[in-house]
Amino acid sequence: MNAALMFPALFGLVFLGVPVSFSLIVVGAGFGLPFFGATLGQQLLGRLLEVASGFAFASVPAFIFMGALLERAGIAERLFAAMRVWLGALPGGLAVATIAMAAVFAATTGIIGAVEVVIGMMAIGPMLRAGYDRGLIAGTITSGGSLGTIIPPSVTCVIYGLIAQVPVGDLLAGILLPGLLMVALFLAYILGRCILRPQDGPVTGLEERGQGIVAKLAITLSGLVPAALLIAAVLGSIFWGIASPTEAAAVGALGAALLAAAYGRLSAALVREALEKTATVTAMIMLIVFGGTLFSSVFYVHGGGALIQSMVGGGQVSPTMLITIFLGIVFLAGFVLDWATIVLLCVPIFSPLLKTAGIDPLWFGVLVLVCIQTSYLTPPMAPALFYLRGVAPPEITYGDMCRGVIPFVICQLITLAAVAAFPWLATWLPGSLKAF
């Protein structure tokens, strides 16, 4: 009964406006005190230290610092300019360039909100001035911003791997093909829509077409190539086993600092701002880790594992139905909880049952990450819409946003279905890299 009451208590505090991390701590401590008594802190400290002192956790602040530096060093503006010179003359070219830029920028930051806010501030103005459909603008910005979950190196992916005890390098490799498939679906939708309805994404590109090949190459060399090299250094060192995720994150942070210096943006103020952002985001994640560890540990000692098993049929449910139920829980939780809370709450509960059912944890992890990204974008409670509201002008209404994101949500669901139907999309690349 106590285990069954913990989730209603948690959601009750969340809906009252209590921050998620404090809600987790209050509920976990409140329900744990009758069981452990005065030894509650001592019982849980060991588990907390075990989770928080993991070597791979050191990669989280390093990846965040890399993204914070690049976000402030002007890399996004240069990427957008590079994409526009090559893609701007296509139907819906500004939207196509925005998605392409977002995919590359996501690979340099790994943080969902940061990607969306930055590309929103850059791309909304040019698309509005070009006469783009407001729904298409909203869908492009939010879907591009969501790629921070599914394009490596993703902080969400790193935390999931650590909690689920799936090798982080394998998980980063596993999300690469689904991420590229999703980007391809986004681009195909934009191009198809703007070919069929040119008024939704008018062809612009006069400025881009007027530039010579030398000017285009110069913009590409200054904007796209450095970012691509940095991504290759970070991901390549992980995929080929040259460095651990923590070591690769440190390489990325150093590379971001050198790139900021090359752009003439590196300064004491820039570093201070990046460090403040790193400290804030890392503290938020670790506080949720603490609350999630406390909550899930107390949930289990109150018989939560048996409760979940009884709810899914006492082991009589097929693996397919088990996966469907768990992904449904993740999707619905994404309406009210952030990604870190979902991972911290759900993964410790799901993992034993998945192991018993013989489900590949790497494949399931990729499914969960795609599902988290989809819930991030799905109205009416989509966090992506609230991020966009903060940077969008008044003429882009909430109705425009909801209307615009639906086709991109469908693209994400197609990706989810493809990974579910063809597990090799998640497992082929990690297995191939291990063969070398």
The stretch 318-332 carries a mean pLDDT of 88
Mean pLDDT of 65-70: 83
For residue 229, what pLDDT is reported?
87
pLDDT of amino acid 421: 94
C-alpha to C-alpha distances, 71 to 339, 382, 392, nearest whole angstrom = 21, 23, 19
- Give the pLDDT score at 25: 85
CA distance 362 to 357: 14
* 37 vs 360, more confident: 360
Q: What's the confidence (pLDDT) of residue 264?
A: 85
Task: In whole angstroms, give the CA distance from residue 230 to residue 327.
Answer: 33
As given in the structure block, the two tokens for residue 168 are 């982080």
The predicted model gives 214-238 an average pLDDT of: 82
Tell me what the mean pLDDT of segment 267-281 comes to: 89
Flag whether pLDDT at 45 surpasses 90. Answer: no
Q: pLDDT: is 209 or 112 the higher one?
A: 112
Reported as a single tens digit per residue, the pLDDT across 404-433 is 999 999 999 999 999 999 999 999 998 887
Looking at residue 209, its pLDDT comes to 57
Round the average pLDDT of the chain to a whole number and report it.
Answer: 83
pLDDT at 436: 55
- Average pLDDT score over residue span 335-344: 78
The pLDDT score that the predictor gives to residue 47 is: 65
pLDDT of residue 146: 85
| pLDDT of 210 higher than 60 | no
> 228: burial class by Cβ within 10 Å (0-12, 13-18, 19+)?
middle
Q: What's the whole-number mean pLDDT along residues 114-139? A: 85
H helices within 210-244, ranges in order?
213-239
In the numeric block, the tokens 């190196």 are attached to 153
At what angle are helices 361-377 and 339-357 packed, to 10 degrees?
Answer: 150
215 pLDDT above the threshold of 90: no
Q: Is the peptide bond before 153 cis (omega within 30 degrees of 0)?
A: yes
pLDDT digits (tens, 9 = 90+) for 137-184: 999 999 988 888 888 888 888 888 888 888 888 999 999 999 999 999
Q: How far is CA 33 from the centre of its chain?
A: 35
The DSSP 8-state label assigned to residue 16 in this structure reads T
Residue 343, pLDDT score: 85
Both tokens of 86, joined, read 């090559």
Tokens standing for residue 304: 């939560």
Cβ distance 408 to 139 under 8 Å? yes
The residue ranking higher by pLDDT, 303 or 280, is 280
| The pLDDT value given to residue 265 | 85
**For residues 374 and 327, is the Cβ–Cβ distance under 8 A?**
no
- What is the model's pLDDT at position 206? 54
**pLDDT digit string, tens, across residues 382-391:** 778 877 877 7
pLDDT at 14: 80
Average pLDDT over residues 189-216: 79
Residues in the chain: 436
Instruction: Note the helical H segments in 202-318.
Output: 206-209, 213-239, 245-262, 268-301, 304-311
What is the number of alpha carbons within 13 Å of residue 379 lying toward its C-beta? 16
Are residues 388 and 141 in contact, defined by beta-carbon separation less than 8 angstroms?
Answer: yes
Per the CB < 8 A criterion, the answer to whether 3 and 302 are in contact is yes
Does residue 191 carry a pLDDT above 80?
yes
Residue 364's pLDDT is: 94
**pLDDT class of 208 with cuts at 50, 70, 90:** low
Residues 309, 304: Cα–Cα separation, whole Å: 8
Q: Which residue has the higher pLDDT, 75 or 195?
A: 195
User: Percent of the chain at pLDDT above 90?
Assistant: 19
Q: What is the pLDDT of residue 353?
A: 82
Q: Which of 44-53, 205-214, 237-246, 271-280 has the lowest mean pLDDT?
A: 205-214
* Residue range 277-281: mean pLDDT, rounded: 86
